[in-house]
Amino acid sequence: MIKEEYRGTRQWSRNSQAIAIVVWISFLSAAIGTMLFFALFDPVDLTGIFDEDLDIGREAGYAAGFFFFWVLSAISSAVTAWLVRTAPKRDKKRRG
Partner 1 sequence: MKADVDTNKAPGAPMYASAEKIYPREMKGRWDSLSKLATITLLGLFYVVPWLTWDERQAVLFDLPARKFYLLGLTLWPQDFPYLAVLLIIAALSLFFFTALLGRVWCGFACPQTVWTEAFIWMEQWTEGTRSQRMKLDKAPWNWNKLRRKGSKQFLWVTFSLWTGFTFVGFFVPIRELGPELLTFSAGGWATFWTLFYGFATYGNAGYMREQVCKYMCPYARFQSAMFDKDTLIISYDEKRGEPRGSRKRGADPGTLGLGHCIDCTLCVQVCPTGIDIRDGLQYECIACAACIDACDSVMDKMNYPRGLVRYSTEHSMEKGETRILRPRVFVYAALLLLLVGGLVTSMATRTPIILDVIRDRNFLYRELPDGGIENIYTLKVINQRDEARNFRLTVDGVPGIEIDGVSGPVAVDGSGVLSLPVRVRAPADSAYGIMNIWFTVTDVEDPSITMTEDSRFLGPTP
Among 59, 90, 91, 92, the residue binding partner 1 under the rule CB under 8 A is 59
* Residue 7 or 93 having the CB closest to partner 1: 7
Q: What is the CA radius of gyration of the chain?
A: 21
> Is residue 50 part of the contact set for partner 1 (CB under 8 A)?
no
Those residues whose C-beta lies under 8 Å from the C-beta of residue 65, and which sit 6 or more positions away, are: 34, 37, 38, 43
Q: What are phi and psi of 40, to 5 degrees?
A: -90, -35
> Is residue 78 part of the contact set for partner 1 (CB under 8 A)?
no
> Is residue 52 part of the contact set for partner 1 (CB under 8 A)?
no
> Is residue 87 part of the contact set for partner 1 (CB under 8 A)?
no
CA distance 48 to 5: 62
> Is residue 31 part of the contact set for partner 1 (CB under 8 A)?
no
CA distance 37 to 69: 10
CA distance 88 to 96: 14
Among 48, 57, 82, 87, the residue binding partner 1 under the rule CB under 8 A is 57
Interaction site with partner 1 (CB under 8 A): 2-10, 12, 17, 20-21, 24-25, 35, 39-40, 42, 57-60, 62-63
